[in-house]
A and B are shown apart, each in its own frame.
Chain A
Amino acid sequence: MNKVSRFAVTTAFVLASASSAYAGCGISSGSVRIAGSDFPAIQAVSGAAAACDGGGVSVTVDLNTDHKDRQVAALTANPAEFTSSIVANSTLVALMNDGLARPLDSLVAKHGGDLAKSQLITVDGKIMAVAFMANAQHLFYRKDVLDAAGVGVPSTYEEVLAAAEAIKSKGLMDYPIAGTYKAGWNLGEEFVNMYLGHGGSFFKAGSAEPAINNAKGVATLNMMKALTGYMNPDFLTHDSNAVQAEWEAGNAALTNLWGSRAGAVTDGEGSTAEIESNTMFASAPTVAGGSMPASTLWWDGFTVATNISDEDAEATFQAMMQGVSLDMAKANADKANWLIAGATPQAAGVGVVATAQGGATPYPMLPYMGTMHGAIGGELADFLQGKESAEQALADIEAAYIAAAKEKGFL
């Protein structure tokens, strides 16, 4: 090899390494391991962050539908299995209960230039997570079916029942309402939504003592039972996937489903054009004369693990900043309601926006809320199957919660 060609080869190497430094998003070195739940919005965020892979930085992504069940164990390890866990309101609490997410104040000050103030999740004055999307359960309705039944878009659950009765009595559908009533977490979430819509509170003020066995709790259960009267009799086995399938098959005309499914039921796949073009979104209904939509607001955001080196933490934060950039939000406008500054709201996101504007409250971020949620999801099925009274079901929930909360040291 002569001198000229050796020079050329060297230059090529230098250029190549320079361009890979560019691919690293300005991160000099470190290991970034992102983990989260597996749905399109999080795929987009982690995908954009993974583009930083190269040079001295390695970025790996591991998404799993059961992420919330593995994250505590994975981040408890030292060094942690993942450097960033993508969380929501309730799952951040689980990390914070064990001190597994590190405060991000210094990293936000150094690298968080583009973040809107509303994206910063601060607890006790410390930034614990950076939110990038909002989610809420809200009303999905079939315009053609409601028109044929001669009813307007319901804005309260009483109107939902009336509309369902009209659809059923005209013989348009056997089971006009669909709901995520699968025993367990889903059923618990439906109760939380409806109970907050009734203006109820779960605990005695300032303590972990349960306080749901009251008139609002009974009214909540009676409304849920009335709704199930218009649902497919298998409702206790229906989760979000099943409800989406029912919807796309044209078996239901009204449902209070997750905003993150709005894009999926109007994406031109898995359903007919007639059903998709008539699928409309509105705020979650109010209930019992209340003014607040019976739904909870959720955000999804990223955290940085405690049990990793400061170098990896910085690299992780920088990569995730790339993941939640405005470019990513623009390229994936239809996948979520991005909270990212400058992003335009998605067309299918009107339901989430309307629910938030209607004054729905965020899902309670209390250390013992997860225990309560579990107790609700486990004890409600008996009531909905008609095996016990509403008062008995509420008493059972409180008793199951107290036993679990004592074991967890909250009581």
Chain B
Amino acid sequence: MPHRTFIAFLWPSALAMLLFIALPIMSVAMQSFFISHEQVLEVVENCGPFGCTESTQVNQEATARLQEEEPLGRFNGFGTYTNRNHLAFEEIGEVWRTSDGPGAFFSGLMNLPFYKALVFTLTYTFVVTPLVIILGFVIALSVNRLPGLFKGPTIFFSLLPMIVTPLIGSLILFWMIDAKGVIGGTLQIIFDDPDLSLKASPGLTWVTLMVYGVWHSAPFAFVVFYAGLQTVPQDTLESAMIDGATRWQRIRHVVIPHLTPLVVFITLIQLMDNFRVFEPIVGFNAEASATSLSWIIYNDLRSSDGTMLYGSAAATSMLTIVGVCILLAPVIVRTWRANRRAA
């Protein structure tokens, strides 16, 4: 293709990517290096229905002047990234010095909000992603064997979990797993434990969130694999059958190799999606037991009483982007190598 044609085709999407992806990320990166001005405080008298008290307040005029001089706030460099609520270098050093074993070090680490969230986020990602792929593949194989009459309705019902809005789905399940809800009550009978509650302990909350994650995402893997199964070469399958290959051997040596590019595709999408896990934490009211990086950003931006931490939210966003890049790197490098070999 001549360069002119190539550029003519490319420029609209390049412009859109610049405007809607690159510029916002740069703006967030910029924001993460700044913090609010020093507040000018003054002591005043407050009066109301419950009497008068001396109280501190922010001096409006002085603060407005500061804001006019430097609208972005005070430059803080990587200060926000390294403070206790993010990478916490100082605190980690402290934990390292004082802890007497890997167990104590890990529990010290889990006491820092960023690492606590990171541990849950990574656990969620690495548990849910493979389970989604395996479950999606199994469902696709089973549906593919169904007689034509049942295929349509089965596919429709299998897709339902993905159609339900994540927040709504998790909220509905939140009430169903309540000790008095239908799932929670049934589990109590099955395990013969009247005090069993999925919401009470961190461990069970983690399990609940991950089961929800698999339930919600498996249809995506299913539908991609199902489409892939329609393209499996029938000649190869038939010759394998003639050679006496069992069903398992046919799947292992014909179907799976054929679907490998799809596995890579689903892995990429799922790693990105699961690393940004957020809605189930809100829906299941799970923030006491499980937080994720996205939840931290949300919490900084909706802090009650208007005390939003824009710099903090921006720093966590940048760290999330770095995290996604690290996660995807091995998969992308592999694909690139495979493509180069093929070429």
Task: Indicate if the CB atoms of A122 and B48 lie closer than 8 Å.
Answer: yes
Cα A206 to Cα B56 with chains together (Å) = 8
State which of A52-60, A146-154, A285-293, A381-389 sits at the interface with chain B.
Answer: A381-389
Given known A-B contacts A68-B306, A367-B58, A371-B307, A123 and B49 have beta carbons under 8 A apart: no
In chain A, positions 66-114 with a C-beta closer than 8 Å to chain B are 68-69, 71-72, 89-91, 93-99
State which of B83-91, B210-218, B248-256, B335-343 sits at the interface with chain A.
Answer: B83-91
In chain A, positions 282-307 with a C-beta closer than 8 Å to chain B are 297, 299
B 47-77 to A, binary, CB cutoff 8 A, 1 in contact else 0: 1111001011110100110000000011010
Task: Indicate if the CB atoms of A408 and B309 lie closer than 8 Å.
Answer: yes
Cα A14 to Cα B330 with chains together (Å) = 79
Residues from chain B with Cβ under 8 Å of A409 in the complex: 35-39, 73-74
Shortest Cβ distance from residue B187 to the other chain A in the assembled complex, whole angstroms: 14
Given known A-B contacts A96-B57, A237-B285, A400-B85, A365 and B202 have beta carbons under 8 A apart: no
Residues from chain B with Cβ under 8 Å of A378 in the complex: 113, 299
Cα A183 to Cα B282 with chains together (Å) = 11
Cα A361 to Cα B51 with chains together (Å) = 10
B21 at the interface (CB under 8 A from A): no
For chain B, the count of residues having a C-beta within 8 Å of the partner chain is: 59
Task: Indicate if the CB atoms of B50 and A96 lie closer than 8 Å.
Answer: no
In chain B, positions 8-62 with a C-beta closer than 8 Å to chain A are 35-39, 41-50, 53, 55-58, 60
Shortest Cβ distance from residue A117 to the other chain B in the assembled complex, whole angstroms: 9
Task: Indicate if the CB atoms of A370 and B285 lie closer than 8 Å.
Answer: no
Cα A89 to Cα B63 with chains together (Å) = 22
Task: Indicate if the CB atoms of A373 and B304 lie closer than 8 Å.
Answer: yes
Cα A119 to Cα B309 with chains together (Å) = 33
Cα A125 to Cα B43 with chains together (Å) = 12
In chain A, positions 258-312 with a C-beta closer than 8 Å to chain B are 297, 299
Residues from chain B with Cβ under 8 Å of A408 in the complex: 35-36, 39, 307, 309
Shortest Cβ distance from residue B183 to the other chain A in the assembled complex, whole angstroms: 14
Residues from chain B with Cβ under 8 Å of A406 in the complex: 35, 83
Number of A-B contacts (CB under 8 A): 182
Residues from chain A with Cβ under 8 Å of B44 in the complex: 123-125
Contact of B39 among A68, A367, A388, A403 (CB under 8 A): A367
Task: Indicate if the CB atoms of B49 and A119 lie closer than 8 Å.
Answer: yes
Residues from chain B with Cβ under 8 Å of A183 in the complex: 285, 287-288
Contact of A93 among B38, B50, B286, B305 (CB under 8 A): B305
Task: Indicate if the CB atoms of B305 and A369 lie closer than 8 Å.
Answer: yes
Shortest Cβ distance from residue B144 to the other chain A in the assembled complex, whole angstroms: 41
Residues from chain A with Cβ under 8 Å of B107 in the complex: 387
B317 at the interface (CB under 8 A from A): no
Residues from chain B with Cβ under 8 Å of A392 in the complex: 111
Residues from chain B with Cβ under 8 Å of A356 in the complex: 50
Given known A-B contacts A99-B64, A407-B80, A370 and B306 have beta carbons under 8 A apart: yes
The 9 lowest CB-CB distance pairs between A and B, nearest first, are A94-B306, A370-B305, A124-B44, A183-B288, A233-B200, A381-B288, A236-B288, A237-B285, A409-B36
CB-defined A-B contacts under 8 Å, sample of 23: A91-B305, A91-B306, A93-B306, A120-B47, A131-B49, A233-B195, A234-B179, A237-B199, A237-B284, A297-B50, A362-B50, A366-B55, A367-B57, A373-B305, A396-B111, A400-B85, A400-B113, A407-B35, A407-B80, A408-B35, A409-B37, A409-B38, A410-B39
